[in-house]
Homo-oligomer: A and B are copies of this chain.
Amino acid sequence: MSKIPVMEIFGPTIQGEGMVIGQKTMFVRTAGCDYSCAWCDSSFTWDGTGKHLITQMEPEDIWTKLKQLGGSGFRFVTISGGNPALIKNIDGLVDILKKNGIQIGLETQGSKWQDWFYKIDELTISPKPPSSRMITDFDRLDEIILRISRQNISLKVVVFNDEDYDYAKKIHQRYSEIPFFLQVGNDDCSTTDDDQLMMTLLNKYSWLIDKTMVDDEFQNVKVLPQLHTYIWGNKRGV
């Protein structure tokens, strides 16, 4: 038994955010999260509303499905959640992907450790700011960052307001050697008015840029939007 609870598998599409923004990639989204962020944009992975979508899959079957959907047109797979770091068995999937020459991207909030983190090519740790209503366990985070600090990793904090911005700065200063990304938060994960959503998000992106540019305490930082929301709004599975 090395099954993985899979929520959805889709692609090829682009990675819309973070350190590999724009990358052509397949997505494997796992079920379950130890957090319950106030603004979670994938709450269907943990709040019960997507329960009927969960399939327990062997790593080999996930690889078969990826090939079915993406053919030979991809070299990158993103594992997302929920929090994939809850799942020990992802190790098996990672090994199959590596064996087939596929690069792997993964994002997790930094609340749990897995040994297979060492094998991830592009690992993003994204601690959650106050607006999420989650509390960061900094001892745990310190330990995780220390273990993987020699890998190709990045830190990313989603910012909704001034308090989040201050939290982001604290994270950046605590781990100042790690490449740091600020990302605009999406307040409204349910609207289907894509044009309106985009204007709102662009305004917030502009606000975040303005703030960061005049802030001497953020000297080395990347400020990015979520590109996929500009293209597809809140639509899922693209």
Contact = CB atoms under 8 A, between A and B. Distances in A.
Interface residues of A, number: 38
A165 interface: no
A96 B109 CA distance: 39
Given A21-B21, A205-B231, A231-B202, A75 B220 contact: yes
Nearest to A23: B222
22 contacts: A11-B213, A12-B213, A14-B209, A14-B222, A14-B223, A22-B181, A23-B222, A24-B213, A24-B218, A24-B219, A71-B216, A72-B216, A72-B219, A73-B215, A75-B219, A76-B220, A103-B220, A198-B202, A206-B231, A209-B231, A224-B227, A225-B230
Interface of A: 11-14, 20-24, 71-76, 103, 181, 198, 202, 205-206, 209, 212-216, 218-225, 227, 230-231
